[in-house]
Each structure stands twice: as C-alpha cells, then as structure tokens.
Chain A
Amino acid sequence: MLWKLASRTLIAAAVIALLAGAWQIVAGTAGEKGTRTQQVSHDDD
C-alpha cells in the first residue's frame, strides 16, 4: 500500500515535471525569464 502511494507520487511528480518543463519552454520563448525579484529589478532599470 505504502509503496503504491509512493510510486504514484513519483509518477505524478514525473508527469508534472514534464508539463512544467513544457511550460518553462513556452514561457522562455515568450521572454519570461528569471525570478519575481529579477523581473522587478529589470522593470526598475
């Protein structure tokens, strides 16, 4: 039971990492890079 839960968690983490990675690529192409703090400092510049 525990191993089933743990394996489901890891599978979900892998799938979410793939989706988030795809989102990272899309956001990267759109020019959204860096942290919130960096974005704020760029805005200040």
Chain B
Amino acid sequence: MTTTEKAATPVRRKPKAIEFTILYGWHAVISGAFIVAYFSGDEDTYAMHQFAGYLVLAAIAVRVIAAVFAPQGSPLRIRCPTVAPLAAWLAALAAGNRARIGGPPSLPRRPFFVLMAAALLISIGAAAASGATADFVPFIEHLHEALGELALWIVLGHVGSVFVLNALPKLWRRSAGSRLCPTDERC
C-alpha cells in the first residue's frame, strides 16, 4: 500500500426515506392488527380475531422476507441483539450518561431497540403462529392464549419504554436548568 492509498473503511449506506415510510407503515399495520386480534378473542367476534391474527402473521412473514432481501445498512434489516453493547448501554443509563443514551446530543439507543425488536417479533410471531396452528390442532389453543398474554406485556413494555426514553432528555434538561437557576425560572 502506498501513502496515497486509503485504508478500506466500510461505507455506511444512508437509509432512504421510502424505507422509513415502509417501516412505519408496517408498524401501523402490525400494531393495529395486534390490537384488534387481542380485543376480539371473544366467541362473538371470533372471525374478526382470525382475520386480525392472520394479518399479524402475514405482516411478520413480510417483515422477515424484507429483512432478508434488504441491503446492508437498511432500516428494514433485522439485527441480532448482542450482549456487550446492551450491557454498555444499560451501564450508561444507570450512570445517567445523557450523551450515550439519548439526551442532547442524542444517541445510541440502538442496542436496546435491537433487543426490543427481536423480543417483539418473536413473542408476537409465536402468538400468531400458535393461533394459526390451533385452527388445525385445537389443543394448542391454551398455549396460544398464554403466548398472546405474554406478547401483550412485551408490547406494553415496548410502548412504555419508548415514551420513557423520549421523556428522559426533557427531564434531564429541566433538572439541569433548575440546578443552574434554582430561584429564577426564566434564567
């Protein structure tokens, strides 16, 4: 290698707007279908439950296929959660390190979101797949109900953590402001 040659560095691909549109559209469909499926499990609305449940299953299948064919760096890819970055992120969270967990200047919450996405896909996928299986093997029904309840708690955890992580920077900013100006709110 001569001095004029540069070392090969991986080029980070910039995600396209259409990829985020697809991702958010998919998020709306799967979350909407999950809500309908969860609340229509009653015997009077059983066809609704099946319709929404199969829609959830189809959405997960489409998401997995899209992840397989999405190029490197695309937000449509599904990343495998790894322990080390997550542990570092949790340590930073415990230490209140804003720069590392989402305070201004923002970022990387990625290790947590990667884990959350994997947990959601697996739990919702298992609930939907067991429901489809129970159409042919009725004794799976109880397992399907248990997996549905578990998926609901993981979904609620997802919603709660997203709101908390978005509220944290504002709380930190407010507490930093009150420390700097304890008497005058407008300073």
Contact = CB atoms under 8 A, between A and B. Distances in A.
A15 B138 CA distance: 29
Interface size class of B (residues with CB under 8 A): 20 to 34
Contacts of A17: 32, 36, 48, 52
Interface secondary structure of B, over-half rule: helix
A36 B162 contact: no
B52 A9 contact: no
Contacts of B45: 24
B150 interface: no
Interface of B: 24-25, 27-29, 31-33, 35-36, 40, 43, 45-49, 51-52, 55, 134-135, 138, 141, 162-163, 166
Interface of A: 2, 5, 8-17, 19-21, 23-24, 26-28, 32-38, 40
